[in-house]
Amino acid sequence: MIFGDTVNLWLLLIVIAWIALEVFLWNKKKKLIAGLFPGELTDLMFKNWDRRKHFIKQGLFALAILFLILALARPQWGKKTEVAGQMGIDVMIAIDVSKSMLAEDLTPNRLENAKNSLNLIIDELAGNRIGLVAFAGSGFISCPLTTDVGAVKIFLKTIDTELIPDPGTDIGSAIEESIKAFGQSTNSKVIILLTDGEELTGSAVAAAELAAKEGIKIFAVGIGSLEGATIPVSGGFKKDREGNVILSRANPDLLRTLSEKTSGRSFMMSQDITGFQKLFSAVSTLPRHKLKSSVSYQYQDRFQIFIFLSLLCLIAEMMVSERKNA
């Protein structure tokens, strides 16, 4: 049992003090009355008074106050729900948030198309541990590994191209951050890498080799078209130093190399979700391991019980007479 409002439990001190005062004054009460009234009158006053019933009456009143205070403290209890260790894998989703992901060769653009598709695959991966890494010129863990699908989706929703100030596309950093996120996990480990594959900084191949040593598979998903698309910016399209409009193209060759280094697979994103369906089919074949079991408690307010007990005690207290039976 727990209490929703523990502050009110301090009121129990009043009950304790009242009981202590009652016991202390008990032996002094008769002496005090005897000092105020003649002996015959004192005997007459206590003649029909039952000491045992007096204590029962006072005890019932004290219990009524006690139960009322407990009700004010909002006692709660309920059932324990234990989720046995379920079978699953660890999946880190690394998503590219560089400016090239604003290209519109996928509707409405590469990044939003990838996020919409990821929402579907996250639902399919429910029951496994899932985390997020966002990357551009550097990478960082946006959401650590969790079985809470709702939390992962909340973090995914916040991801955009303004999230990381470092320009460029460092796929190697994304892989390295994903490796860190797995920690000492002994489960099957997968990195789902979503990017157009235009690595401008870093060393993705070296990072993939490190992932392979850790027993981590990379499933790379190419976002964008081979024909390429311009990158919209304020006032027009992104240009290079010579003033030429940049055409951003997907790089399936690099993604294929990264996946092959880790015995994974690579896919290309299309306007439909065919690529993600193939991805999920590939991930679902990986061996499952037992994840940590979890215990949850569902508590409900039970103050009504204590209010009822308090009323019962008050009714009983009123029915008890301190007079001796005739």
Please indicate whether residue 124 or residue 27 has the higher confidence score (pLDDT): 124
Is the pLDDT score of 201 beyond 70? no
Q: What is the pLDDT of residues 237-294, one digit of tens each?
A: 988 888 899 999 889 999 999 999 999 999 887 655 666 677 878 887 787 777 665 5
Share of the chain above pLDDT 70, in %: 83
pLDDT of residue 241: 85
Is the pLDDT score of 79 beyond 80? no
Q: Both tokens of residue 313?
A: 């005690």
- Ranges for all domains in the chain classified under CATH 3.40.50.410: 87-290
pLDDT of residue 95: 97
Name which of 230, 249, 252 is nearest 240 in CA terms: 230
Q: What is the pLDDT of residues 177-200, one digit of tens each?
A: 999 999 988 888 999 999 988 776
pLDDT of residue 303: 87
Please indicate whether residue 211 or residue 41 has the higher confidence score (pLDDT): 211
What are the two backbone dihedrals, phi and then psi, of residue 73, each rounded to the nearest 5 degrees?
A: -80, 0
Among 5-14, 107-116, 268-277, which is the least confidently predicted range?
268-277
Is the pLDDT score of 318 beyond 70? yes
pLDDT of residue 213: 96
* Residue 143 banded pLDDT, cuts 50, 70, 90: very high
Is the pLDDT score of 153 beyond 90? yes
Name which of 77, 74, 76, 72 is nearest 11 in CA terms: 72
Is the pLDDT score of 229 beyond 80? yes
Question: What is the dotted CATH code of the domain comprising 87-290?
Answer: 3.40.50.410
In this structure, are residues 75 and 1 in contact, taking their beta carbons and an 8 Å threshold?
Answer: yes
130-157: average pLDDT: 94
Rounded-to-integer distance, Cα 243 and Cα 241, Å: 5
Strand order in the sheet with 216-222: 139-146, 129-135, 90-96, 189-195, 216-222, 265-268
pLDDT of residue 168: 86
Name which of 179, 180, 181 is nearest 209 in CA terms: 179
Is the pLDDT score of 323 beyond 80? no
pLDDT of residue 215: 94
Share of the chain above pLDDT 90, in %: 41
